[in-house]
Amino acid sequence: MKKTAIIPFILLAVSNLTGCTAGIAESYTVAAQPYRAFTDEDIHSSECRIEFGDEVFVSGQGAWFSSRDIVISEGGIYTITGSYDGGSIVITTEEPVKLTLSDASITNSGGCAIDSKSEKLVVCSESGANALTGSGGDFGVAVSSEGAVLFVGSGTLEIQGSVFSAEGIDFGRGVSFFCEILRTDGGYIIPGSLGIN
């Protein structure tokens, strides 16, 4: 049985996508279109593992912990586990990046949970319960990307806040999810909060 997520339609100023928004006009659902083929072979780099806990551990190349954020500067596959409250995953490279979430939770009360410049960002909820929360909860921006965003995986992913992409938002095969993707002058956006799988 497919699960359905009701997405609040938030009145949003395109020129202020990262700011607070207000007002809910209506709620409805639309089936998402399947994403074009994209595999791990498209990402040419070794894997890196990021573990959140009492301390932050990064094993592998391409990422490091800076002040309060995890910075990813190379294309590749990054596996993230554990819970972190207080910073972002900041992707500075334009190369394709896959974030594999495994019982991971990222909350940033001061901005986005994921802020990406990658031309292709894959967010994979590999296993367990995963969550991304941006500043302001339902009225903040949880994921912001200058490139295309693809959501895949067999685990669950709860996103509190909107998802913005300048190039498009899509879902992989097997993801049972319905949502409204709005086309704006600045890109594509899923307003409100959502649950995947």
Share of the chain above pLDDT 70, in %: 71
Tell me the one-letter amino acid at 33. Answer: Q
Dump pLDDT digits (tens) for 92-107: 999 999 999 999 999 9
Indicate the DSSP class of residue 171: E
**155 within a domain of the structure (yes/no):** yes
Write out the residue range of the structural domain in which residue 182 sits.
Answer: 7-12+26-196
**1 within a domain of the structure (yes/no):** no
Domain count, the chain: 1
Residue 171: name the closest of 4, 21, 32 by CA.
32
Using an 8 Å Cβ cutoff, are 160 and 48 in contact? no
User: Burial code of 44-68, b = ≥16 C-beta within 10 A, e = fewer?
Assistant: ebebbbbbbeeeeebebebbebeee
**137 within a domain of the structure (yes/no):** yes
**179 within a domain of the structure (yes/no):** yes
- Interatomic CA distance for residues 9 and 25, integer angstroms: 6
pLDDT-derived band at 50, boundaries 50, 70, 90: very high
pLDDT (0 to 100) of residue 6? 33
Q: Is the model's pTM score more than 0.75?
A: yes
The CA angle 138-144-146, to the nearest 5 degrees, is 155
**2 within a domain of the structure (yes/no):** no
Dump pLDDT digits (tens) for 51-95: 998 888 899 889 998 888 999 999 999 999 999 998 999 999 999
- Interatomic CA distance for residues 123 and 131, integer angstroms: 11
For the chain, the average pLDDT equals: 76
